[in-house]
Chain A
Amino acid sequence: MSVLESGPVSDALIITWRNLKRIPRIPELAIFAVLQSIMFVLLFAYVFGGAIPLPGGGSYNEFLMPGIFVQTIAFASATTAIGVADDMGKGLIDRFRSLPMARSAVLTGRTVADVIYQAGILVVLMLAGLVVGWRVNNGFAKFMFAVVLLLAFAYVMAWIGVWIGLSVPNTETAQQLTFVTIFPLTFISNVFVPPASLPAVLQPIAEWNPVSTLTASCRELFGNPNPTIGTAFPSQHPIEVTIIWAIVLIAIFAPLAVRKYRNTSR
């Protein structure tokens, strides 16, 4: 018998399968996720963008798109949180916990499925980006490196989403809680504006914000305009800082989520 027939890997695959099955069954979810991002693209590319000068010049749309990718992935944690809260509320988590399956599988299956889902959304957004003038200028290897960073970040965000989903009483709270935490995170960053244009008090936050470091990494790897705030460490080494962020965040939130799942008693 292979590992795919039974055991933790097989269990996680089944849960992944189950979570992916629902995507075509609720197409609204994916459609609205993409539409929301495209709305931001249109809003910033054609409404505000003209008023935002980039230090050092370059195309605002090229500057914008990596930020949109990161923002979309950050907001995806809400989808995860809502899904988990929904499973809790419907008693499905209890059902899983009463089965002789690997307990880790429910969470790994969920997070892996959400990363696959995000990869699909990313493809659509990149195509949309090409339409508004975004380009990949540094070759395939660096492009793939950026994609890997984006998906790694998606995985981290999925774990944060799982933890939130297990911690809140219902889906409404899951949605609101992720929104109020992610929204400031994406705006006090370099996603829409060059960080130097932010008020001085917010600049250190924007510099160290993982959303900013990931966005800066992508801009660097794609070869898009990447205005930074002087010589601060995260601006100089965005990729290293991003990787450290990913490791730190997952080291915090994965155990928190697993503990919450073990002790959940609703």
Chain B
Amino acid sequence: MSNAIEAEQLVKIYKAKRGSQEVRALDGVNLSVPEGTVLGLLGPNGAGKTTTVRILTTLLRPDGGKATVGGFDVVEQSKDVRRIIGLSGQYAAVDENLTGWENLYMFGRLYELPKSETKKRVDELLEQFNLTDAGARTIKTYSGGMRRRLDLAGALIGHPKILFLDEPTTGLDPRSRLAMWDVIRGLVSDGTTLLLTTQYLEEADELADKIAVVDNGTIIAKGTSDELKAQVGGERVEVVLADGSRLAEAATLLEPLSVGEIEREERTRRIVCPSRGGSKKVIAAAQILDDHGIEVEDIALRRPSLDDVFLTLTGRRAEEIDSDDEDGDVA
């Protein structure tokens, strides 16, 4: 299988403005996405996700490194690249004063589709995205979720082989987010290659075959969701006590079962105990606590979430870095 997207040592430097240092938005990004697969580019704001997408979609020139999309060089053969890609960005890039139908028609014609084919394709997409009735209204009257759907439809108008979705669900309410996921899953089942960026660990987990974790302009980990989780280390037993004052005592009692440092969360009366051995350890933990008369409200075996992956890899939680700096990402 050949790679639909390849990037080698991509570097992007944003020039220093007065009083600030230059920003290395990308510091040697390597990526490869085999045809027909989904890569989730996961990282906090400012990590370099958007910059990567902008380079791969020919909107931005890299300061170093090389990238090909569909076998075409993104710098030397940018027009060929643009013919085979679809891009849907962070904000719905549609014309507010046109109707849904007119927006898609415009994008289709600019995609070099003939008039009659464009019209057919527009109707098809409006139906696919549940926008047939809204198609005759101007975008001003659309909800956030409808705008995103139309934006995505715009990216699909030319049947792109390779699709870039930059944070497709940021800012959507949970219901619209789930609807968007369904749409994206549908696309992927048609064999489209997809590069998706997200700050939501759950989203990458749901949609991507492979995940690349980005931080400070480099890829710090790559693999399937399971591989990444395995990298963090195995499972853990989580116990919630009825009486928070006995947290320290319980933690000491569980120490023999643990294969790492036990975490205590006072507020939630929770003990997290890294373990190995599956459900036997849960039974053992319950037994020990019961023997000492410590009442357990909840006990469960948990596998690591991508949240844990991020925490382990970067030493921070994904959400914590949200407000750090946005230079690389928003620019």
Contact B106 A265, beta carbon cutoff 8 Å: no
Binds A, one of B27-35, B91-99, B234-242, B245-253: B91-99
Interface string of B48-88 (1 = CB under 8 A from A): 00000010011110000000000000000001001101010
In the complex, what's the smallest C-beta–C-beta distance from B123 to chain A, in angstroms?
18
Q: Which residues of A contact B83 (CB under 8 A)?
A: 100
Q: Knowing A14-B106, A265-B331 are in contact, say whether A98-B95 is a contact too (CB < 8 A).
A: no
Contact B91 A99, beta carbon cutoff 8 Å: no
Contact B112 A266, beta carbon cutoff 8 Å: no
Contact B89 A22, beta carbon cutoff 8 Å: no
Chain A CB within 8 A of B174 CB? no
Q: Knowing A14-B106, A18-B106, A265-B331 are in contact, say whether A98-B94 is a contact too (CB < 8 A).
A: no
Chain A CB within 8 A of B132 CB? no
Chain A CB within 8 A of B90 CB? yes
CA distance A15 to B49 in the complex (A): 30
Contact B97 A265, beta carbon cutoff 8 Å: no
Closest to A11 in B: B110
Chain A CB within 8 A of B115 CB? yes
Q: Which residues of A contact B110 (CB under 8 A)?
A: 11, 14-15, 96, 99-101, 105
In the complex, what's the smallest C-beta–C-beta distance from A162 to chain B, in angstroms?
17
In the complex, what's the smallest C-beta–C-beta distance from B284 to chain A, in angstroms?
55
Contact A14 B109, beta carbon cutoff 8 Å: yes
Interface residues of A in 13-46 (CB under 8 A from B): 14-15, 17-18, 21-22, 25-26
CA distance A96 to B115 in the complex (A): 18
Q: Number of residues in A with C-beta < 8 Å to the partner? A: 27
Chain A CB within 8 A of B256 CB? no
Interface residues of A in 73-116 (CB under 8 A from B): 90-92, 94-101, 105
Chain B CB within 8 A of A197 CB? no
Q: Which residues of A contact B111 (CB under 8 A)?
A: 99-101
Classify the secondary structure of A's interface with B.
helix
Chain B CB within 8 A of A137 CB? no
Q: Which residues of B contact A26 (CB under 8 A)?
A: 97
CA distance A36 to B154 in the complex (A): 38
Q: Which residues of A contact B107 (CB under 8 A)?
A: 95, 99
Q: Knowing A18-B98, A100-B79, A265-B331 are in contact, say whether A95-B112 is a contact too (CB < 8 A).
A: no
Q: Which residues of B contact A98 (CB under 8 A)?
A: 57-59, 82, 85, 87
Closest to B109 in A: A14
Closest to B80 in A: A100
Q: Which residues of A contact B82 (CB under 8 A)?
A: 98-100
Classify the secondary structure of B's interface with A.
loop
In the complex, what's the smallest C-beta–C-beta distance from A179 to chain B, in angstroms?
23
CA distance A15 to B106 in the complex (A): 8
Q: Which residues of B contact A100 (CB under 8 A)?
A: 79, 82-83, 110-112, 158
Q: Which of B89, B90, B94, B112 contacts A6 (CB 8 A)?
A: B112
Closest to A7 in B: B112
Contact B59 A97, beta carbon cutoff 8 Å: yes
Contact B114 A6, beta carbon cutoff 8 Å: yes
CA distance A1 to B89 in the complex (A): 32
Q: Which of B91, B109, B138 contacts A91 (CB 8 A)?
A: B91
In the complex, what's the smallest C-beta–C-beta distance from A17 to chain B, in angstroms?
8
Contact A92 B93, beta carbon cutoff 8 Å: yes
Closest to A14 in B: B109
In the complex, what's the smallest C-beta–C-beta distance from B77 to chain A, in angstroms?
11
In the complex, what's the smallest C-beta–C-beta distance from B213 to chain A, in angstroms?
25
Contact B112 A94, beta carbon cutoff 8 Å: no
Interface string of B308-323 (1 = CB under 8 A from A): 0000000000000000
CA distance A6 to B115 in the complex (A): 9
Contact B87 A10, beta carbon cutoff 8 Å: no
In the complex, what's the smallest C-beta–C-beta distance from B114 to chain A, in angstroms?
6
Contact A21 B94, beta carbon cutoff 8 Å: no
Chain A CB within 8 A of B205 CB? no
Contact A90 B91, beta carbon cutoff 8 Å: yes
Chain A CB within 8 A of B307 CB? no
Q: Which of A94, A97, A100, A105 has the most CB of B within 10 A?
A: A100
Interface string of B96-126 (1 = CB under 8 A from A): 1110001000110111101100000000000
CA distance A26 to B95 in the complex (A): 13
Q: Which residues of B contact A6 (CB under 8 A)?
A: 109, 112, 114
Contact A101 B112, beta carbon cutoff 8 Å: yes
Q: Knowing A18-B98, A100-B82, A101-B110 are in contact, say whether A95-B89 is a contact too (CB < 8 A).
A: yes
Q: Which residues of A contact B115 (CB under 8 A)?
A: 5
Binding site for B on A (CB under 8 A): 1, 5-6, 10-11, 14-15, 17-18, 21-22, 25-26, 90-92, 94-101, 105, 265-266
16 further A-B contacts with Cβ under 8 Å, apart from A6-B114, A21-B98, are A6-B112, A18-B98, A25-B98, A25-B138, A90-B93, A91-B91, A95-B87, A95-B94, A95-B107, A95-B154, A96-B110, A97-B58, A98-B58, A98-B87, A100-B83, A265-B60
Pairs across A and B, CB under 8 Å, 15 listed:
A6-B112, A10-B109, A11-B109, A21-B97, A21-B102, A22-B97, A25-B98, A90-B93, A90-B96, A91-B91, A94-B93, A95-B154, A98-B82, A98-B85, A100-B110
